Structure formats: structure tokens, C-alpha cells
Amino acid sequence: MIVFIQQLKDRNETLFYYGLLCLVLSVIFIILTKVTNTQVYNVNAWYKPVKFAFSTFLFAWAMAWYCHYLPNFNIKVFNWAVIILLGFEIFYIAFQASKGELSHYNVSSPVYAFLYSMMALAASLVTLYTAYVGLLFFIHSFPDLPDYYIWAIRLGIIIFVIFSFEGFAMGSRLNHSVGALNDNSNLFLIGWSKTVGDLRVSHFIGMHALQILPIVSYYGLKSTKLTIGLSVIYGLLALLTLIQALQGRPFIKTNISQIERMNKG
């Protein structure tokens, strides 16, 4: 791990420190969930900043690692696009959490509607930039790297892009739930609904193909065919959870009343 961290820092010091900052922020936000009682949609308001800061940390470090392989890539422009655009998202989400108000789906005033649109634009621009990086991995050849690893990066980026844009399915409805209004039954830290369909499940699974597929391929599969096969299965999993959510069915159905009785006991 120490070797990896040093190599990552050498590859892209800017995104390394930005990712580290996001990791520190996610820890601070977790602490705030324990010391504050401010809630939004029946869960602590600081859970959302935790998830976004930690997800940005993973994204920044993954892209810092992958972009190092690209020849003649203007990494400075990419770095600052990620820092400014995703930094704006984290700041606004945390600011709204501090007030106990919505960041996403908040169109209660012209100002909030504008800021919500700006968040959507920021996320879209980062996703499109990442799609461009993925295109470069198809255009260029990488003779010094295993084919299975390159295919894992390519397919990981494709799935990431598709299910990043799946976020518009939530944004257009101003609701991440199907069958309720923004239900947060608090399934683990991620807060997925235990009672109705939750569009965040496929969004989460698809976006983290960016990290999971290359790691599994490089350290485990070591085969192009197996990597492509796993990527297809992984993409289908994300798609099936999307279909499941659209049908109003929870990812993991739990008897809420039974859990409440157990907690009281």
C-alpha cells in the first residue's frame, strides 16, 4: 500500500492531494453525523456529504492512476476540471447539509434551482471528460501493459459513464425512490431504501466499475476473455438493479417492523 501511494503521488501529485483532501473531508463528515442531529428526509444530513466526498476521493485517485498511461494527455486541464467541478459539488452539498436543507432535487427557489442545475452540469462535464479519457484508451495502444488490464480500464470507464448519466433518471424525477418520496431506509451507510425501488443502487454499482474491474482484472483474472466476461456480468448487474428499482422493488427487501422490534428488544 505504501508503494502504491508513493507511485500515485509521483504520477499525479495534484489529484493525489485532492483525493486525500476528499478522504479527510469524508472522515470529518462522518464525525459530524455522530455529533449533530440535523436531518434531511429522515436521515442525518451529513451522510450525503460523506458519500460524495468519499466517492470523489476514489474517482480522483483512480483517474490519477489511469491518465498516467496516456501519451500527450493534458493532465493539468483534466486535474483542474475535476477539482473545480467536483469541488463545487462537495462544497454545495456540505453547505446545504449544515443548514439541514436539500442540495439535490431542491428547486424551491430560483437560486436553489440554479445551483442544482449547476451541480448537474458539473457532474455531466466531468463524466464527458472521463468518456474522452476512455476514448483515448481505445485510440492508443499500450504495448507495455497487459491487454486484460487495458480492457478492464476501457470497460470500467464505459460502465462508469453510462451509469453516471443514469443520475438524470433521478434528477428529472426530483426523486431517487420509485414508490415513495426520496426514501432513506438507511440500508448500511449508503442509505438505500429497504422498502421501495431505489435508483441510487445501479448508479453506485455502475460508477464504481471504474475501480473494481481494473483491480480484479489486474490482480485476479489476468485474462482478457475473463475480464470482458466479468465486465458484461457487472454491467448486467447494474442494469438489472436499475430495472428492479424502476419496478418499485428494493435492492434488499427487509421487514422494517421486525427490525424495529429487534432494536427495541
> 80-91 pLDDT, tens per residue?
999 999 999 999
Tell whether 116 and 202 lie within a shared domain. no
44: phi then psi, degrees, rounded to nearest 5: -55, 135
State mean pLDDT over 51-66.
97
Query: Tell me, what's the pLDDT at 240?
Result: 97
State mean pLDDT over 54-72.
97
| Across 16-25, 181-190, 209-218, least confident range | 181-190
State mean pLDDT over 63-75.
96
**The C-alpha cell that represents 104 in the structure block:** 439535490
Tell whether 260 and 184 lie within a shared domain. yes
Given a cut of 60, whether residue 256 has pLDDT beyond it is no
Tell whether 169 and 223 lie within a shared domain. yes
Tell whether 158 and 96 lie within a shared domain. no
**Total structural domains in the chain?**
2
C-alpha to C-alpha distance for 191 and 43, rounded to whole angstroms: 8
* Model confidence, pTM: 0.92
Q: Which of the listed residues 111, 140, 169 is the one where a domain comes to its end?
A: 140
Given a cut of 90, whether residue 54 has pLDDT beyond it is yes
Tell whether 10 and 100 lie within a shared domain. yes
Tell whether 126 and 201 lie within a shared domain. no
Please report where in the chains the cell 504520477 appears, as a residue. 11
Confidence of residue 193 (pLDDT cuts 50, 70, 90): confident
Domain with 170 in it: 147-265
Tell whether 11 and 130 lie within a shared domain. yes
Tell whether 101 and 30 lie within a shared domain. yes
State mean pLDDT over 15-24.
98
C-alpha to C-alpha distance for 155 and 83, rounded to whole angstroms: 24
Contact 238, 163 (CB under 8 A): yes
| Across 108-122, 187-201, 214-228, least confident range | 187-201
Tell whether 203 and 221 lie within a shared domain. yes
Tell whether 133 and 113 lie within a shared domain. yes
State mean pLDDT over 177-195.
76
Q: Which of the listed residues 140, 160, 193 is the one where a domain comes to its end?
A: 140
Q: Which of the listed residues 114, 140, 166 is the one where a domain comes to its end?
A: 140
